[in-house]
Structure 1
Amino acid sequence: MAKILVVDDDPAIRQLLADVLEMDGHEVHQAVDGNDGLRLLDLTRPDFVVLDVMMPGIDGYDVLRAIRAQEGDPLPVLMLTAAADPASATRGWVDGVDYFLAKPFAPDAVLDLVESACGQTIPTITGSD
């Protein structure tokens, strides 16, 4: 299974994601903010990153830019945001995000994206209503 880095300043969101991903057999590392995320990124070398947009200090966009500045194969990144406005999504796409989900989200949607990106299953997510 995949090694996943979850970067979110909300402990409830981190724990929910860790529980869902670990129950599916993934190894999960949790970062409490952008600085911690960048530190764990180097230490854990994840296969996939779940990244909150709005965090104190270094926000998700800055973390994403740091991820995209790394050499080697692009690391799949899913950004989660409570600010589901078009400008936030556009900024994420411009900065190189692979997936973008608005909070609240279905945990199974995150699991499907992780598994699809890591080559384990075909996603079951359909377009919006």
Structure 2
Amino acid sequence: MAFMGAMGSGDMEQMSALMADDMVWHNEGDTSLPWIGETVGKEKIFDFLGVFSANLRTTLWENTDAFASGDTVAVFGRMNGITTHSGAETGEFSFALRAKVRDGQVVLWHWHEDSFAISKAYHAE
């Protein structure tokens, strides 16, 4: 998926071109984490991405499976990261993504992560 590649390489210009103006980014999980919840609109999503990257440094992101049907794609994989809040490592965890595309642009990014592992690292003392 081109959007995921642009995000992984930090190509914000390409990401913006691939995002619908009314895109919805929804992260499932522990709401005590500052990046969990729903963000609507390209501008607000870029603000959200700043919050996310300020709080979690990804050290592993590996897509293991991807499936597409019509306008929907599902991606599954493994991640690891370090939370800047505590400096603790999350440990490897699984993620799942459901995304929808309209006219070549992402309109929905519905992210599911092991927020227990991440929350435990984020709130570590």
Establish whether TM, by shorter chain, passes 0.5: no
- Which has the higher Rg, Structure 1 or Structure 2? 2
Length-normalised TM-score, structure 1: 0.27
Quick one: higher RCO (CA 8 Å, sep 6+), 1 or 2? 2
Length-normalised TM-score, structure 2: 0.28
Structure whose residues are more often strand by fraction: 2
